Amino acid sequence: MSKAQHNKVIVVGGGAAGLLAAIVAARNGARVTILERNQRVGKKILATGNGRCNLTNIDMNISHFHGTNPKFALTALHRFDNYHSIDFFERLGIAHKIEERGKVFPRSNQASSVLDVLRYELEELGVTTLVEAEVKDIQRSKNGFQLMVKGGESHLAQAVILATGGKAAPHLGCTGSGYQLAEKLGHRIIEPFPSLVQLKLAAPFLKQIKGIKFDGDAEVIVKNKVIARASGEILFTEYGISGPPIFDLSRYAGYWLQQGQRVWLKVSIITHLAPEELAAYIQQRFDYNPQKTLAFSFVGMINKQLVPVLLKEAAVDVNKKVADVTAQERNRIVEILQDWRFEVTGSNTWTAAQVTAGGVDVKDVNPATMESRLVPGLFFAGEILDIDGDCGGYNLQWAWSSGYLAGLYAAAYVSRGNK
């Protein structure tokens, strides 16, 4: 016979959104239990920001968020914004600092310190945390919810917060199990795909240039239209391309690939000169040393490993003397340096992805409360929803913001039930 435990609010998932939701619900008078499938809560928090935990970002423009309806996130991001997050963690003991591109990190440079203070607060508030408790089913009844856990145990609650995350980083316990739970309760799922992930490219020479880094621009192009662009450090890999700009563009590439469209990536290696200026500069280099071969003439200007590949792409003989290079050949080199195009064939797997795009369709969720429009007393928080952010602290801010609303209104829901 299963053992029943009566709880006011049950949070399914002990990640960033779930922990914040549990704290807020408990602070607002609810008795809270967290059910976490892993052996400990907060495993993904420990991996964020390369182990430093990029808490949030100073720039919270809605353009940094994505989904079928990104504006859904506005209410939560205003109710519990980046400065609320900074203050929340300062009060828990996390001193913060602001780094490049507005990224906010703990001064300790340790994601573990963020998890430490969250766990401490949960204990202070009397929140019950049950680990290795994988929820297999949730059933709605007139008195609330019954949650069945793998192994046969069951738990009763008046309100449930689904904060199970997505499918990115399955080695950290993100399996997409929450989607099945939401579907059983009547919610539609926008097909998930990996985001903030490396892209695979169709090119025969990638092994020759793997490991080469450069500061440049990249654009996603579909049907000859620029869909998105990003700048920063870009890295060629043996399967394709990586780096922060690529991570930000991967969401757009993944979406259009999922729609069955051909997707192209335009890479610009030289960005500080207009095409005519670059052509003049290259010609000047040729004039300085007319006896050099074309390949050697670019040593000191771009990475040596890139030179033969670039020249081959421009259909120019690498051994040709620069004095013999035609204006047409020079201009083809300029074009490759500033408009090098690759077809995107896919992305790396869920294991490599930092976040999930897609998820629970937000049209059936109240943006002001994170409560289901279909099932009263059911709330959502974090990555399980069809909202995802750019690289740079945006996804954690979404976790904090949505978790705050879910915890606040789940507590209010059970409070109303007692009156």
Adjacent-strand bridge partners of 36? 131
As given in the structure block, the two tokens for residue 129 are 């945390």
What is the Cα–Cα distance from 372 to 356, expressed in whole angstroms?
20
Q: Which amino acid is at 104?
A: V
What is the Cα–Cα distance from 406 to 395, expressed in whole angstroms?
16
Report pLDDT for 2: 42
Report pLDDT for 1: 32
**367-381 pLDDT, tens digit each:** 999 999 999 999 999
Classified by CATH at the fold level, domain 4-194+354-417 comes out as FAD/NAD(P)-binding domain (3.50.50)
Classified by CATH at the fold level, domain 198-347 comes out as Helicase, Ruva Protein; domain 3 (1.10.8)
Report pLDDT for 171: 84
Report pLDDT for 418: 58
Region(s) of the chain under CATH 3.50.50.60: 4-194+354-417
Per DSSP, the residues of 98-167 read: E-GGGEEEETT--HHHHHHHHHHHHHHTT-EEEES--EEEEEEETTEEEEEETTS-EEEEEEEEE----S
Report pLDDT for 419: 53
What is the Cα–Cα distance from 332 to 120, expressed in whole angstroms?
61
Indicate the burial class of 376 (C-beta count within 10 angstroms; 0-12, 13-18, 19 or more): exposed
Pseudo-torsion of CA 11, 17, 19, 20, nearest 10°?
-110
Q: Residue 56 belongs to what H/E stretch?
A: strand 56-57
Report pLDDT for 3: 45
Region(s) of the chain under CATH 1.10.8.50: 198-347
Q: What is the block-wise mean pLDDT of the chain (419 residues), using blocks of 10 residues?
A: 63 97 97 96 91 96 96 98 98 97 96 97 97 95 91 93 94 88 97 96 96 96 97 96 95 96 97 96 95 94 94 94 95 96 96 95 98 98 97 96 98 84
**What are the C-alpha distances in Å from 33 to residues 137, 181, 197, 224, 310?**
16, 18, 33, 52, 58
Q: Which amino acid is at 8?
A: K
**Phi/psi at 75 (nearest 5 deg)?**
-60, -50
**389-403 pLDDT, tens digit each:** 999 999 999 999 999
pTM reported for the whole predicted model:
0.91
